[in-house]
Chain A
Amino acid sequence: MIGLAAAMFAVAPFMINNAPSEATMGLVYKIYFFHMPSAWMFLVAATTAGVASFRLLFLKRPNADHWVIAAAELAVLFGALTLVSGPLWARKSWGVWWVWDARLTSSLMVFLIFVAYTLLRKYGGAGSDKLGAGLALFGMANVPFIYISVNYWRTFHPPTSVVPKLPVEMGIPLWFCVTAFTLLYVVLLRLRARLEFQRARVEALYLAEDEL
């Protein structure tokens, strides 16, 4: 799976290069091939963290914590990718680096919530797993509120309905990139969760050693 993801990312630049240029924005629009998939993976990671938190808190599955950590860190990673590639594109298409648009602002806020989560896990000390799960759960419930409030505040971002209308030559590399990013996400999520699972086991073994 790692190999497949790596191979897809190696091929992706060539496919993007072969895609036709867009009429008004020319070459710059090609950042879209990385921007949109990372934004999607950002949302998928945020949702994964929320669902895993729910399992941890209410269904009392201690192992769910490993998934929350893994997904939260990936939300930070893909969120950062989205928030870096977005302004680069916006500079060309809207003329400014940043606008206070519904999607931009809500992405930034969700990103901040997950940065807060990783800080909490790193510096919070004992008992921060449940605390973090509460935070992630609240973060997930908050998404519609942030979205609605910022939407009424102001909006510029093109709606998602632009995707199905893309011509085929642009569509194929786009979906290729989406698949590559999804694979990358799944690979990283599983690796990170496994790392966390093994760390927990080592800790348990240490504790068992002490008791002998």
Chain B
Amino acid sequence: MIASFLRVAWHVMRKDITVEVRSLEILSTTMLFSVTVVLMFSFGLVSDGRPVDDVAAAILWIAIAFSGTLALGRTFERERHNDTLRALMLAPADRPALYAGKLAGILLLLVLVELVLVPLVGLFFNAPVLAQAVPLALLLVAGTLGFCAVGTLFAAMLVRARSRDVLLPVMLYPMTVPVMIAGVRGTAALFQPAPEPAVAQFWLGLLVAFDVVFVLLALWTFEPVMTD
């Protein structure tokens, strides 16, 4: 049971990665988009050559949310365009496993984007990204997972809806406010001149709880909402 679940999820993820590796369309556009978002914020928030205090963490997470929305939208737009989501749904496989595979693919994509984003924020805003690398990485992964867990379900549901491009962020952002708050506060605690790992750990705990609840809820709701 669990083995077949994992196998289906693995195949869906591998399919997505193979498609992506051949075109690099979503990865390259999302990465460039995230870089331009960081630049836009720099021009808005850096005055006299110095950034406003505590701003690096906020920009990092906002850039992740924006590029995450873009990647989610594009990934499912591709499925919709070729009508392959229906083929996936017709496959004799567990629906929750399909969701898990999609989620893993998007998570991997965003982690790659973050690998570019984090050093960039460190460079532009003098943020000590390497000083507390392990807690920072944990926060990023936990936060991105929470964001994608909700986002993958919503984007999948919206595939058949009209005006999905604007409805996705409108639905997703209010829902992921806890991720943003926890991510930004935890990261800001690590970026302090004297880092506060205990504070970051508290926010990490909240993120993990969010992940557990929403991944389970999404696995559970995916079947009924995707059934016609």
Q: Contact check: which of B157, B162, B178 meets A123 at CB < 8 Å? A: B162
The total of chain B residues at the interface (CB under 8 A) is 30
**Shortest Cβ distance from B202 into A: residue:** A152
- Contact residue among A112, A131, A135, A149 (Cβ-Cβ distance under 8 Å from B182): A149
Within 8 A of A (CB), among B168-224: 170-171, 174-175, 177-178, 181-182, 185, 202, 206, 209-210, 213-214, 217, 221, 224
Q: Report if A58 contacts B (CB, 8 A).
A: yes
* B21 close to A (CB within 8 Å): no
User: In the complex, which residues of chain B have a beta carbon less than 8 angstroms from the beta carbon of A57?
Assistant: 221, 224-225
B228 at interface by CB-CB < 8 Å: yes
**Does B90 sit at the interface, judged by CB under 8 A?**
no
Min distance, Cβ B53 to any Cβ of chain A, angstroms: 17
Say yes or no for B6: interface residue by CB 8 A criterion: no
Chain A, interface size category, equals 20 to 34
Point out the residues of chain A lying under 8 angstroms from B162, CB to CB: 123-125
A120-B167, A120-B171, A148-B206 known; A109-B177 Cβ under 8 A: yes
Our count of residue pairs bridging A and B at CB distance below 8 angstroms stands at 90
Is B129 in the interface zone, CB < 8 Å from A?
no
A residues less than 8 Å from B217 (CB atoms): 137-138, 141
Q: Which of A113, A133, A138 contacts B214 (CB 8 A)?
A: A138
Shortest distance from the beta carbon of A71 to any chain B beta carbon, whole Å: 17
Q: Which residue of A lies closest to B213 (CB)?
A: A141
B109 / chain A contacts, CB cutoff of 8 Å: none
Q: Please report the C-alpha to C-alpha distance between residue A58 and residue B202 in the assembled complex, in whole angstroms.
A: 34
Which residues of A sit under 8 angstroms from B221, Cβ to Cβ?
Answer: 57, 134, 137-138
Chain B proximity mask over A86-130: 1 for CB below 8 Å, otherwise 0:
000000000000000000010001101100100110011111101
A84 to B206, CA, bound (A): 31
- Least CB distance from A48 to B in Å reads 19
With A131-B161, A135-B154 in contact, is A124–B214 under 8 Å at CB?
A: no
Alpha-carbon distance A38/B163, docked complex (angstroms):
32
- Chain A positions near chain B (C-beta within 8 angstroms): 57-58, 105, 109-110, 112-113, 116, 119-120, 123-128, 130-131, 133-135, 137-139, 141-142, 145-146, 148-150, 152-153
Interface residues of B (CB under 8 A from A): 150, 153-154, 157-158, 160-163, 167, 170-171, 174-175, 177-178, 181-182, 185, 202, 206, 209-210, 213-214, 217, 221, 224-225, 228
Excluding A138-B214, A142-B178, 6 further A-B contacts by CB distance (< 8 Å) are A124-B161, A135-B171, A141-B213, A142-B177, A149-B178, A153-B181
